Amino acid sequence: MVTARPTRLPASRPTLGLAELDARLSRLIEVPGGGIDAGETRTWHYLDNIDRLAGERPAGTILAVHGNPTWSYLWRRIVTAAADREQPWRVIAVDQLEMGFSERTGAHRTLAQRVDDLGAFTEALELEGPVVTLGHDWGGVISLGWALHHRELLAGVAVLNTAVHHPAGRPIPAPLRLAGARGMLAAGTQATSAFLDVTLSLAHPPLTLPIAAGYRAPYRSAARRDGIRGFVADIPADDRHESRPALDAIAEGLRSLDVPALMLWGPRDPIFSDRYLDDLIDRMPHADVHRFEGAGHLIAEDAPYADAMLDWLAERVASTGGTDAAESAPAPTPFTPLWSRLEEHRDDTALAVADMSVTEPVRVSWSQLARRVRQLAAGLHSIGVRKGDRVSLLVQPGPTLTAVVYACLRIGAVVVVADAGLGVAGLGRAIRGAQPDVLIGDAKALTAARVLGWPGTRVSTTTLPRGSAAALGVAHTLVELTERGCDEALPPEPEAGDEAAVLFTSGSTGPAKGVVYTHAELSAMRDLIADHFDVTADSGLVTGFAPFALLGPALGTRSVTPDMDVSRPRTLTAAAVAAAVRASHARIVFLSPAAILNVVDTASELTDGDREALAGVDTVLSTGAPISEQLLASVARVLPNATAHTPYGMTECLLVTDTTLDGIRDASAAPDRGVCVGRPIGEVRVRISALDEAGAATGEPGEEPGVLGEIVISAPHLKDHYDRLALVDRASRRDVPTDGRWHRTGDIGHLDADGRLWVEGRLQHVISTEHGPLAPVGPEQDIECVDAVRRAAVVGVGPQGVRRAVAVVETIEPARAARLAAPDLAAAIRDSCAEPLSAVFVVPQLPCDIRHNSKIDRSRLSDWAERMLSGSRVTAP
């Protein structure tokens, strides 16, 4: 039977060769004890890379503190990597007492004692500043406690999955409850290795046997696992726990911590979920945050945390001396709020918004919309929604969504928009990542939220039966909020630099990213659209593209959503567009490329009345992805008097350049390859970062014509940053010009001699051949000139540097199965293409992203083509 207080066991150094750990890094030190160890000397084990620095002065010291049941082995990669940097850092990775290869004292250690222990250890080392703490699990709390007590040495703090606060009345995570349960504590944590085994099983992908053995090395007997038991017993599960005051003091102390901070997170952690990250961000809002999608509790094994932290240190700590927590605030930006037009039209009974996508079309006047926005804004404020709080909107585009968006913006709440096109899994990742405080949705959305555990106080768009509302956890309804807001005053307006929205990308190039816009940036986007497309109060909009369905009120003109499923653009018909135009007398029509495909395909069903209505449109825009001259010409024939525009943009900057059908035709005489998307509009600036032989964008961004490279942009309406993706945000600003805010788009293309931009694909789709980088769009355009071909994709197969191009086509007469193209079709395709093709495949349908239905998934096609050519039996991509 295991005793509660084992005999004292000495510290030691690892005697067996452990994977990835250089034994020369191992150290022991005698440390005078304090508190419960007063009068005693304790022996600590730690890792230290000081000898690897070869006498070079480090930028500072990283003090790395493990949690339970790991040890300093957790930090082996950063211990090594930090010494190899151009500006090296010393790393001291400690084994806490009772843990790893440090001494087993048999003493009961509380959180406060462990913070004091760490202080005694660093004092014995005579540690000097600047120091950056790094902690994981309960080591995160302890390292932050040390930081608060040693501010004179502190240059920054960093944490991997950890928690400093747990809400009263809510149970601690289930794995910890089970581990700490009476009758389970000693058996699961000390008598057996169960707690250790479960923790090691949380790695994604699973740990190799040698790495797992490294973690197990200090814990091979029950006596040596007493510290694991003690750590679990010291979890402050409720307010009565002896360590709760120390935890609360650390949690509150973080609000005054003004040094640079970094939070690296694994969202698959079943213990420290995103809600703990959200709490940390609330306490240190200046922190840089990055969520490694797919990583979990053992993020140090799952993700490249060491490089991430060292890059951050070089940028945010070494360059500033660790004196500032955030960049200097920019000068206030004058802006006109998005809701200003509503205030101007408060007494106007004319049509503001109409929705024809529902069974009974809805029409809302300006006065009705303005009144509802004010009431909802006041109602939301009355239930505690404040500036900066996040509100996730799982509401179909239409008047209700429009009113809620403007209400949130008015009180400074941040709207979180991730559409259903991401799929349930993608939508869940987006919502959990954004950690909204409030979630507004219909019964279907609220059911998903309940089943999948999405965060946020639930607000229903409709009044549900009492039992259903209770089952779904509904706290409020929009009807209730409207009633509450009738007599409530509105709070002060938000400022230009306040966050306004988190808009999620399509997920077509990886997990969807949250793009953060401030109020000034959204207003700049509205002003650009109004100026460039001459939008006036009399223009009227038909919005068949969800992002623009919300802009009508901001632009001060009426807008109508046609009869369609907005999350499925291909459901829009030509007749539905005509009906919406008639209902609104609209002169401008916004469509996505996928919607245009079906509008063109259904044009034969138009009546004479439909054609007459469409003849009154003078501007049609294809937004969401560049489209070909042929497709733009096709939609121009459906709207014969409209100037057809195809703007180029992205979620990060919704409008960058613009061209018309005539502009594309003028460009067609040029020798350039790719899709001409026109010239920059408004104050937008475009530069190109040239590709090297391997296809990487390494060139200094410039404006030289004919240079193939990554498109780099700057604009007043450019996104502020990515949400909780600090590494992606840093990559998007890598080696950009210093004259303003710039963004690497991930798109590739070139500028021509007339200043027009040509888009040639995505950076990750560049084919690195033996002759240099090959962009896919030019060859695809060649192939699409073949009569039998509807759409084409050109992808690479083979090793990097010597990849070969392969064509995959979707034919006018759909193929029944994926196969090699017939000899005559393959020959025609090869003859049309300026690039040599190693193979030509025909598929029933090219795989596209689910939001736009237009962006071809070339990465997926490349993998599929590799398998096909290797002889594997695979189905359609």
> Does any domain span residue 240?
no
pLDDT band at 328 (very low <50, low <70, confident <90, very high): very low
Nearest C-alpha neighbor of 68 from the set 271, 279, 262: 271
- The number of beta carbons lying within 10 Å of the beta carbon of residue 344 is 13
Phi, psi at 48, each rounded to 5°: -150, 125
Of the listed ranges 118-127, 292-301, 310-319, 768-777, the least confidently predicted one is: 310-319
Listed in sequence order, the residues at least 6 apart from 685 whose beta carbon sits closer than 8 Å to its beta carbon are 713, 714, 715, 740
Host domain of residue 692: 649-765
> Does any domain span residue 61?
yes
Listed in sequence order, the residues at least 6 apart from 715 whose beta carbon sits closer than 8 Å to its beta carbon are 524, 528, 653, 656, 682, 683, 684, 685
In terms of domains, do 737 and 851 share one? Answer: no
pLDDT band at 849 (very low <50, low <70, confident <90, very high): low
In terms of domains, do 364 and 468 share one? Answer: yes
Condensed to tens digits (0 to 9), the pLDDT of residues 452-472 reads 889 999 999 999 999 999 999
Q: Using CA atoms, how far apart are residues 558 and 735, in angstroms rounded to an integer?
A: 43
Residue 874 has pLDDT above 90, yes or no: no
- Say which residue, 237 or 339, is predicted with more confidence: 339
In terms of domains, do 72 and 189 share one? Answer: no
In terms of domains, do 800 and 811 share one? Answer: yes
CA dist list (Å): 306 to 134, 287, 292, 731? 11, 17, 13, 16
Q: Using CA atoms, how far apart are residues 102 and 180, in angstroms rounded to an integer?
A: 24
- Say which residue, 452 or 158, is predicted with more confidence: 158
Output the domain CATH number for residue 84: 3.40.50.1820
pLDDT band at 1 (very low <50, low <70, confident <90, very high): very low
In terms of domains, do 146 and 162 share one? Answer: yes
In terms of domains, do 771 and 759 share one? Answer: no
Q: Strand, helix or coil at 307?
A: helix
- Say which residue, 594 or 210, is predicted with more confidence: 210
- Say which residue, 36 or 333, is predicted with more confidence: 36
Return the pLDDT at 326: 44
Return the pLDDT at 377: 97
Q: Which of 271, 286, 317 is where one domain is finished?
A: 317
> Does any domain span residue 416?
yes
- Say which residue, 8 or 782, is predicted with more confidence: 782
Condensed to tens digits (0 to 9), the pLDDT of residues 689-731 reads 999 999 999 999 999 999 999 999 999 999 999 999 999 999 9
In terms of domains, do 530 and 424 share one? Answer: yes
Phi, psi at 120, each rounded to 5°: -65, -40
Condensed to tens digits (0 to 9), the pLDDT of residues 33-79 reads 989 999 999 999 999 999 999 888 999 999 999 999 999 999 999 99
Across 589-597, average pLDDT: 87
In terms of domains, do 758 and 799 share one? Answer: no
Residue 852 has pLDDT above 50, yes or no: no
> Does any domain span residue 181?
yes
Of the listed ranges 2-16, 360-374, 417-431, 508-522, the least confidently predicted one is: 2-16
Per-position b or e across 382-409, b if 16+ CB within 10 A of its CB: beebebebbbbbbbbbbbbbbbbbbbbb
Q: Using CA atoms, how far apart are residues 353 and 304, in angstroms rounded to an integer?
A: 48
Residue 648 has pLDDT above 50, yes or no: yes
In terms of domains, do 84 and 116 share one? Answer: yes
Q: What is the 3-state secondary structure (H, E, C) of 171-220?
A: CCCHHHHHHHCCCCHHHHHHHCCHHHHHHHCCCCCCCCHHHHHHHHHHHC
Output the domain CATH number for residue 804: 3.30.300.30
Of the listed ranges 11-20, 541-550, 662-671, the least confidently predicted one is: 541-550
What is the number of structural domains in the chain? 5
Number of alpha carbons in the 13 Å side-chain half-sphere of residue 818: 18
**340 secondary structure, DSSP code:** H
Alpha helices, DSSP H only, in 25-173?
Answer: 76-83, 111-124, 138-149
> Does any domain span residue 484?
yes
Condensed to tens digits (0 to 9), the pLDDT of residues 306-324 reads 999 999 999 988 755 554 4
Nearest C-alpha neighbor of 117 from the set 94, 83, 140, 88: 94
> Does any domain span residue 66?
yes
> Does any domain span residue 144?
yes
Average pLDDT score, the chain: 91
In terms of domains, do 369 and 474 share one? Answer: yes
Q: Using CA atoms, how far apart are residues 200 and 211, in angstroms rounded to an integer?
A: 10
Q: Which of 742, 765, 788 is where one domain is finished?
A: 765
Return the pLDDT at 7: 66
Q: Are 520 and 546 in contact (CB under 8 A)?
A: no
Residue 853 has pLDDT above 60, yes or no: no
In terms of domains, do 350 and 464 share one? Answer: yes
Residue with tokens 């814990």: 219
Residue 344 has pLDDT above 90, yes or no: no
Task: Kindly state the tokens that stand for 553.
Answer: 């009120």
Output the domain CATH number for residue 726: 2.30.38.10
Q: Residue 454 corresponds to which amino acid?
A: W
The top-scoring range by mean pLDDT among 387-391, 770-774, 781-785 is 387-391
Residue 428 has pLDDT above 90, yes or no: no
Q: Are 618 and 641 in contact (CB under 8 A)?
A: yes
Output the domain CATH number for residue 353: 3.40.50.980
Condensed to tens digits (0 to 9), the pLDDT of residues 789-817 reads 998 999 999 998 999 999 999 999 988 88
Residue 566 has pLDDT above 80, yes or no: no
In terms of domains, do 196 and 252 share one? Answer: no
> Does any domain span residue 551?
no
CA dist list (Å): 764 to 188, 758, 761, 773? 47, 17, 9, 11
